[in-house]
Amino acid sequence: MVEFGRNIGFPVIEKQISIDQIARYAEASGDHNPLHLDPAFASNSQFGGVIAHGMLTLAFISEMLTRAFGTSWIETGKLKVRLKAPAYPGDKVSTWGKVTKDSVHDGTRTLVCSVGLRDSNGREMISGDATLVLPLNATG
């Protein structure tokens, strides 16, 4: 868990996207869109090849927030994000986050965080906001 305040050091989640990971996600989610699984089909798409499911990459941001805030994120968290660029097999991606608003009201603390995912070249793949509510007496 991290300390509260605007200077929170969010844990960085780093992953390398693989064909196997995409296939496992397709099986778990039931999303068998050929854009994610069929190289011949995907090569004729606007993306030029197989891409990871957006929800797979978004899960890395949720993993970061769970590591930072534990059950408070799981129980009260909300995400509003924009998927800006696809992740391809072989891409190395990492999460980032920072608190942009920290307010106290009626015995709870509400945090608004700017969050995102970038590839190893710094290309922004996902960006948006996460909001969660913490007990006022929480220590992280």
Catalytic, 53? Answer no
Per the annotation, the verdict on 54 as an active-site residue is: yes
Identify the structural domains of the chain with CATH numbers, from first to last.
54-135 (3.10.129.10)
CA–CA distance, 61 with 130 (Å, rounded to integer): 9
Tokens representing 124 are 């922004």
The catalytic position among 51, 53, 77, 97 is: 51
Does the annotation mark 51 as catalytic? Answer: yes
Q: Contact at 8 Å (CB) between 109 and 26?
A: no
Q: Whole-structure pTM over 0.85, yes or no?
A: yes
From the candidates 19, 38, 54, 129, give the one annotated as an active-site residue. 54
pLDDT tens, position by position, for the chain (140 residues)?
Answer: 444 444 567 999 999 999 999 999 999 999 999 999 999 999 999 999 999 999 999 999 999 999 999 999 999 999 999 999 999 999 999 999 999 999 998 888 999 999 999 999 999 999 999 999 998 765 44
